[in-house]
Amino acid sequence: MACLKAENVIVEFGRSQSGPVRILDKVCLTVHAGSILGLTGPSGTGKTTLGRVMAGLIQPSYGLVTCDGFSVGNVRGRSGRTVQGRIGMMFQSPRRCCLPMRPIVVLG
């Protein structure tokens, strides 16, 4: 069964006086084909960052994200070509992302 998997993903951004700021800390997550995952939580807790990492839009500082066993890599570059078009993400406002006259289809 196809799946999207994050293993021990850590994301750090920028630098403070004490070093980089850790946004995600050792996240492990598996999303099976045909399933839908919603992330909830307070503002600033890393939900969008995790989504972007899982979709290959940003690279984790440490850890691995795979889709069907292939590294997600950077979907905009050569390293992500094997998974391009296989991962979809709906950002925080679905009404702004979708055309109301078009159905949403879950592939799996």
| pLDDT digits 0-9 by tens, 46-84 | 988 998 888 888 889 999 998 888 888 765 666 555 665
Which pTM was predicted?
A: 0.71
Domain boundaries, the chain: 3-97
Q: Provide the CATH number for the domain formed by 3-97 in this structure.
A: 3.40.50.300
Mark 34-51 as b/e (b = at least 16 C-beta within 10 Å).
eeeeeeeeeeeebbbbbb
